[in-house]
């Protein structure tokens, strides 16, 4: 299954939320829609699911136009941010809901629900009420409810934002594993660039309703098209000169007693294997990162004078 979006635009009243988005997803691909809150990514997702009417543009799923199809016939199944699990139904009732709507008989349905529950490790919780299971389990129910339909397309709306960090990392690996195993074309909304990089085949960075850049994680991180994308993907330094702007990630700063640059450390954070520091050179503050082991006895304490050089080979020219 492929997804193709052509010129999608939408406004809440007079407030534009999505402005002319074009995007295509290949079969089995997982694309992360990344952007700050309020950039229109969830709106875009709801338009694809058919939950917002009145959008401009055209939507194709597997080369078939679904722009005007009602939500219940799109088979673009969504995993909601707050899960939207029906509180009056049991775990199994929630997971089987979509199958029931599709007219599947009780026996087959129970069978399918049981299988998917095994897959997402919810075995034995079928009769439990939604509010009696943990947040992580609710997340699995939401996932199972979508997966059991064997959907053509999966839409994830920040599915992990309500979980704590450890669980988030475990779940994203699990989601990625199942998605790859079943080969479901997926669009995954998140505002967490690390999550996007970890899970996605490609990342589409959004800002103010427009897609700024689409590319595989490495490409977007290392060759951002503009300062917004560069900053959103992580800490960076901008070097201007000769009509071009160089984007240098913190690891391109190399501590070197013979380096051509000298400055004063403004602040530093010890992060275990890494030390991240800010160094002032004249008016400019650079962000650097170095392996903890390389600092030796060097504390990189605030006020300390250091020399370093910039590994320009590993910087990229912005917009190129």
Q: In this chain, which stretch among 94-102, 184-192, 240-248, 278-286 interacts with other proteins, using CB under 8 A?
A: 94-102
Q: What is the sign, positive or negative, of the torsion defined by CA atoms of 120, 126, 130, 133?
A: negative
Nearer Cβ to other proteins (40/98): 98
For residue 54, what are its two tokens? 């009145």
Residue from 101, 244, 271, 317 binding other proteins (CB under 8 A): 101
Rounded to the nearest 10°, the torsion over CA 230, 154, 164, 181 is -100
Measured at the alpha carbon of residue 197, what is the angle toward residues 194 and 200, in degrees to the nearest 5?
135
149 binds other proteins (CB under 8 A): yes
| Least distance in angstroms from the C-beta of 115 to other proteins | 18
Per rule CB under 8 A, is residue 166 in the interface with other proteins?
no
From 30-38, 84-92, 193-201, 240-248, span contacting other proteins (CB under 8 A): 84-92
Binding residue (CB under 8 A) for other proteins from 2, 11, 28, 51: 51
The reply to whether 84 sits near other proteins by the rule CB under 8 A is yes
> Do the Cβ atoms of 87 and 131 come closer than 8 Å?
yes
159 sits near other proteins (criterion: CB under 8 A): no
**Cα separation values, 9 from 15, 153, 182, 210, Å:** 11, 21, 31, 9
CA distance 193 to 32: 9
Q: Please list the helix, strand and coil fractions of the chain in percent, rounded to the nearest 5, in that order.
A: 30, 35, 35
82 binds other proteins (CB under 8 A): yes
Q: Which residue of 3, 32, 49, 154 would you call a contact of other proteins, by CB under 8 A?
A: 49
Instruction: Output the furthest CA–CA distance in the chain (Å, rounded).
Output: 76
**Does residue 132 belong to the site contacting other proteins (CB under 8 A)?**
no
288 lines the binding site for other proteins (CB under 8 A): no
Residues 60-79 that bind other proteins (CB under 8 A): 70-78
- Which residue ranges make up the site for other proteins (CB under 8 A)? 46, 49-51, 70-78, 80, 82, 84-88, 97-98, 101-102, 145, 149
């Amino acid at each position: 299954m492929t997804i193709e979006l052509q010129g999608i635009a939408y406004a809440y009243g007079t407030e534009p939320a999505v402005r002319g988005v074009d995007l295509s997803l290949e079969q089995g691909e997982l694309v992360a829609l990344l952007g700050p809150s309020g950039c229109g990514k969830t709106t875009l997702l709801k338009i694809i699911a058919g939950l917002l009417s009145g959008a401009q543009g055209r939507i194709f799923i597997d080369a078939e136009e679904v722009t005007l199809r009602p939500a219940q016939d799109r088979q673009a199944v969504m995993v909601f941010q707050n899960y939207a699990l029906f509180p009056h139904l049991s775990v199994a009732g929630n997971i089987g809901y979509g199958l029931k709507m599709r007219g599947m008989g009780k026996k087959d349905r129970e069978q399918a629900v049981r299988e998917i529950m095994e897959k997402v490790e919810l075995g034995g919780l079928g009769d439990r009420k939604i509010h009696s299971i943990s947040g992580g389990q609710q997340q699995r129910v939401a996932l199972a409810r979508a997966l059991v339909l064997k959907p053509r397309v999966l839409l994830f709306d920040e599915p992990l934002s309500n979980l704590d960090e450890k669980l988030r990392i475990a779940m994203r690996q699990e989601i990625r594993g199942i998605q790859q195993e079943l080969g479901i074309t997926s669009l995954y909304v998140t505002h967490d660039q690390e999550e996007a990089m970890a899970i996605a085949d490609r990342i589409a960075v959004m800002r103010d309703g427009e897609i700024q850049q689409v590319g595989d994680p490495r490409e977007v991180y290392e060759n951002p098209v503009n300062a917004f994308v560069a900053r959103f993907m992580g800490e960076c330094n901008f070097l201007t000169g000769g009509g071009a702007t160089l984007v240098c990630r913190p690891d391109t700063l190399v501590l070197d007693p013979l380096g051509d640059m000298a400055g004063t450390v403004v602040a530093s954070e010890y992060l275990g294997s890494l030390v991240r520091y800010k160094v002032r050179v004249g008016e400019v503050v650079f962000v650097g990162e170095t392996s903890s082991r390389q600092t030796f006895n060097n504390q990189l304490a605030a006020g300390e004078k250091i020399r370093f050089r910039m590994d320009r080979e590993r910087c990229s020219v912005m917009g190129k």
